[in-house]
Homo-oligomer: A and B are copies of this chain.
Amino acid sequence: MAFVASVHAKAIDLIKWSLDMTTAAGSGHPTSAASLAHLVTVLMYTHMRYDPACPDHPAADRLVLSEGHACPIVYAAAADLGLAVGKGPEHRRPMTRDDALRLRAIDSEIDGHPNPAEGFPFFPAATGSLGQGLSIANGLALAARLDGLDKRIFCLIGDGESREGQIWEAVDFLMDHHLTAVCPIFNCNAYGQSDAVSPQQTPDVTAAKLRAAGMAVRVIDGHNPREIQRTLEVHASHAYNPTAKPFAIVAQTVKGWGFPSVLGSNSHGKPATEAEKVQALEALDAMAKHLGAALTKGDLRRPPVPAVEVPRPQPAQEAPSFHEALQRCGQEGVLDKGAMAPRRAYGVALRALGHAYPHLVALDADVRNSTYSETFLHDETLRERFFECRIAEQNMLSCAGGLAAGGKLPFVSTFGKFLVRAYDQLEMGLISRFNLKLVGSHVGVSLAADGPSQMALSDVAFFRALSTVRTHEGQPLLYLLQPADAYAAYALTVAMAAHEGPCYLRTLRPDVPFLYNGATAFPLGGHHVLAEGHDLCIIAAGYMVHEARKALPVLKEQGIAATLVDLYSLPFDDVAILELAQENHGQVLTVEDNYGAGMGSAVADALALHGGTYTLIQMYVRQIPKSGRTPDEVLRSLQLAASDIVHTAVSMLDVASR
């Protein structure tokens, strides 16, 4: 029974530390932490294979703490085990108890919720917005499988949290891909933040749901060391058996285990006062005595990290030209038509990049024949790196995060409208500093006939907000890219693969005429001047570049020589745009087919910051659109057609009065 006594002793010790840490911080979740004490002790001290000095080693088992608020229990173990902490590999050092007591301080590596980028690499991903961990675990498992690594991914999920539908998207995905390496552990401590969990989230119902989804399940006492240990061993036996069912654990636990009389199960997100802490520590001592808790040296031993060969990242090759890539897909004929849908060029690029980047992976959500990510899938040599996520965008995005955490370069495609579904998951991925490439197709109103439920209209504003953030290196956190033709779409897809950092590419549904050629360069942050004038600077993006182009000859007839800028990138080169505005007497007209707060507003930011005299009129979608049979019909209904651009330009310059 030495093992049992030792686990109890260690678990109680970690709970005490969690109480200390949260009281020192003045906030945090000691009761949730306590409910996980035994599970975390058995996992981190006896079961997981990892090296404290390098907990993010590619071959090491990983722990995703989906219920991020319970992190103090992991921090306590990390401090005890001397796990590496430090922002960036060069600053790593063993964590100490003093580190733990700096929980949540502004200069601490130990953030309020799991946040590896601040210096705690044991966690593979930021969590805290609930329901995302199992999807991340799925992504890590896929990455490991691609690399031939047999590591296991443990995921601790709260019972209240398992109400999030994303958890069940993740379970279906895990089953689709037979990810036996993932070990979902549901921590059923019976309480959420504001109340007891619903009867729909009891251990029995959760187990029944998992079984209905096809998993093998065992319901255990989450404070029984031996039961935990044995059940983890059952998981191991499933993990390495290709014919076994994926296996999940449902653990019944107690919120505030060991001190329920002090901070009851109803307590959440509240640290103990100093007086309560004294009481809680006493209660824990009594519990230790009652259980015969006693730590014997050597009882808690971790298996070594498997001495496997970790595949070395293969160097990326240069991507071929668009023409060459088209040839390789047998699509070169498309160039003769003079027009091509940018989404289709994206597919061609994705396939070419699949060959150039051995670690590139592609994900889609049952619209691969619309986004053209299927071009990648249809290449026999690439298809094992394509993951069909079905109609479940949240799981797709977090799974992409897990793939990124596992060293892969994920390209995630779906309709721009449906990506909205996963904005929270994206934000969590950005906190993790994952190098995510998102592609939203069918953006703006040019898809027309399907109506507003399928149109991405607020996405430019949302991604623009993210593009105003800078990394620690001073780079934009994210680039928003809007190719206006197929050449631009190809080149920008290549550029986003080469760029170290998240990007969002907006692709268009309709065929659009070529504006560029294979020699045109598309640096991130750039733009192209398509016409040079001196009366008015028209700045457009995406589909609206074509409408603006149609307006140019009509404007010329009216005596207006307009400059036309294809502003395909946010952020952009402020100085260059200001110069173009100045060359046009400060008269600027922006045109976009999404809601406001988008590209035009970014131009307004630049003009207003500069402080000169400018006039900027923004044309954008000012009503909720409806279906129309053609893009033209819809643009006219929104007063965004070429004729509306002409009309606005003429009124703006008051040409009649000249």
A507 to nearest B CB, angstroms?
16
- Contact mask A584-609 → B, CB, 8 Å, 1/0? 00101000001111101111110111
B621 contacts A111, C-beta separation under 8 Å? no
A101 to nearest B CB, angstroms?
12
Taking CB atoms, residues of chain B closer than 8 Å to A470 are 622-623
A366 contacts B192, C-beta separation under 8 Å? yes
Q: A200-B214, A450-B128, A597-B465 are in contact. Are A626 and B192 (CB under 8 A)?
A: no
**Interface stretch among A7-15, A179-187, A388-396, A491-499?**
A388-396
Taking CB atoms, residues of chain B closer than 8 Å to A605 are 596, 600-601, 604, 616, 618
- Is A56 part of the binding interface, using a Cβ–Cβ cutoff of 8 Å? no
A186-221, CB < 8 A from B: 192-195, 197-201, 205, 208-209, 211-214
**Interface stretch among A418-426, A527-535, A554-562?**
A418-426
A431 contacts B449, C-beta separation under 8 Å? no
A259-280, CB < 8 A from B: 269
> A465 is contacted by which of B104, B452, B595, B626 (Cβ under 8 Å)?
B595
- Is A451 part of the binding interface, using a Cβ–Cβ cutoff of 8 Å? yes
A612 contacts B609, C-beta separation under 8 Å? no
**Interface stretch among A31-39, A43-51, A162-170, A333-341?**
A162-170
- Is A129 part of the binding interface, using a Cβ–Cβ cutoff of 8 Å? yes
A591 to nearest B CB, angstroms?
15
A396 to nearest B CB, angstroms?
11
> A462 is contacted by which of B370, B395, B417, B462 (Cβ under 8 Å)?
B462
**Interface stretch among A74-82, A544-552, A627-635?**
A627-635
A195 contacts B431, C-beta separation under 8 Å? no
Taking CB atoms, residues of chain B closer than 8 Å to A169 are 163-165
**Interface stretch among A294-302, A324-332, A453-461?**
A453-461
Q: State the interface size on chain A (CB cutoff 8 A).
A: 131
- Contact mask A202-245 → B, CB, 8 Å, 1/0? 00010011011110000000000000000000000000000000
**Interface stretch among A112-120, A143-151, A305-313, A400-408?**
A112-120
How far is it, in angstroms, between the C-alpha of A468 and the C-alpha of B613 when the chains are bound? 24
How far is it, in angstroms, between the C-alpha of A598 and the C-alpha of B605 when the chains are bound? 11
Taking CB atoms, residues of chain B closer than 8 Å to A622 are 468-470
Chain B residue with the shortest CB-CB distance to A377? B194
B214 contacts A212, C-beta separation under 8 Å? no
How far is it, in angstroms, between the C-alpha of A309 and the C-alpha of B352 when the chains are bound? 66
Taking CB atoms, residues of chain B closer than 8 Å to A515 are none
A128 contacts B454, C-beta separation under 8 Å? yes
> A458 is contacted by which of B105, B427, B452 (Cβ under 8 Å)?
B427
Chain B residue with the shortest CB-CB distance to A628? B106
Taking CB atoms, residues of chain B closer than 8 Å to A427 are 417, 420, 457-458
Q: A106-B633, A169-B165, A451-B111 are in contact. Are A597 and B628 (CB under 8 A)?
A: no
Q: A25-B629, A205-B213 are in contact. Are A621 and B423 (CB under 8 A)?
A: no
Q: A453-B126, A465-B461, A605-B604 are in contact. Are A163 and B392 (CB under 8 A)?
A: yes
How far is it, in angstroms, between the C-alpha of A570 and the C-alpha of B370 when the chains are bound? 36
How far is it, in angstroms, between the C-alpha of A610 and the C-alpha of B201 when the chains are bound? 56
A112 contacts B449, C-beta separation under 8 Å? yes
A160 contacts B366, C-beta separation under 8 Å? yes
- Is A89 part of the binding interface, using a Cβ–Cβ cutoff of 8 Å? no
Q: A451-B104, A458-B462 are in contact. Are A205 and B200 (CB under 8 A)?
A: no
- Contact mask A609-653 → B, CB, 8 Å, 1/0? 111111111101111101111000110110000000000000000
Taking CB atoms, residues of chain B closer than 8 Å to A369 are 193-194
Taking CB atoms, residues of chain B closer than 8 Å to A205 are 212-214
B627 contacts A392, C-beta separation under 8 Å? no
B366 contacts A195, C-beta separation under 8 Å? yes
Q: A604-B604, A604-B607, A608-B608 are in contact. Are A597 and B597 (CB under 8 A)?
A: yes
Q: A458-B462, A468-B596 are in contact. Are A613 and B613 (CB under 8 A)?
A: yes
- Is A464 part of the binding interface, using a Cβ–Cβ cutoff of 8 Å? yes
Taking CB atoms, residues of chain B closer than 8 Å to A460 are 465
> A420 is contacted by which of B131, B201, B424 (Cβ under 8 Å)?
B424
A123-162, CB < 8 A from B: 126-131, 160-161
Q: A106-B626, A106-B628 are in contact. Are A194 and B423 (CB under 8 A)?
A: no
> A367 is contacted by which of B28, B105, B194, B477 (Cβ under 8 Å)?
B194
- Is A96 part of the binding interface, using a Cβ–Cβ cutoff of 8 Å? no
- Is A27 part of the binding interface, using a Cβ–Cβ cutoff of 8 Å? yes
Q: A390-B192, A464-B596 are in contact. Are A629 and B209 (CB under 8 A)?
A: no
- Is A374 part of the binding interface, using a Cβ–Cβ cutoff of 8 Å? yes
> A421 is contacted by which of B424, B610, B611, B620 (Cβ under 8 Å)?
B424
- Is A62 part of the binding interface, using a Cβ–Cβ cutoff of 8 Å? no
Q: A462-B458, A468-B622 are in contact. Are A420 and B418 (CB under 8 A)?
A: no
Taking CB atoms, residues of chain B closer than 8 Å to A172 are 163, 198, 200-201
A112 to nearest B CB, angstroms?
4
A536 to nearest B CB, angstroms?
13
Taking CB atoms, residues of chain B closer than 8 Å to A105 are 627-629, 633
How far is it, in angstroms, between the C-alpha of A160 and the C-alpha of B453 when the chains are bound? 17
> A391 is contacted by which of B130, B213, B418, B588 (Cβ under 8 Å)?
B130
- Is A512 part of the binding interface, using a Cβ–Cβ cutoff of 8 Å? no
- Is A484 part of the binding interface, using a Cβ–Cβ cutoff of 8 Å? no
Taking CB atoms, residues of chain B closer than 8 Å to A212 are 205, 208-209, 211-212
> Can you list 28 contacts pairing A with B, beta carbon distance less than 8 Å?
A25-B629, A28-B449, A104-B629, A105-B629, A106-B633, A113-B451, A115-B626, A115-B627, A131-B165, A163-B391, A172-B200, A175-B199, A192-B390, A193-B366, A194-B364, A201-B390, A208-B211, A209-B209, A209-B213, A212-B212, A417-B427, A420-B427, A423-B423, A466-B595, A470-B622, A600-B605, A601-B605, A609-B615
Q: Which 6 A-B pairs have the closest CB atoms?
A: A165-B165, A468-B596, A128-B453, A611-B615, A461-B465, A106-B628
Q: A172-B200, A604-B607, A609-B617 are known contacts; what are 4 more A-B pairs with Cβ within 8 Å? A: A164-B169, A164-B391, A464-B597, A608-B614
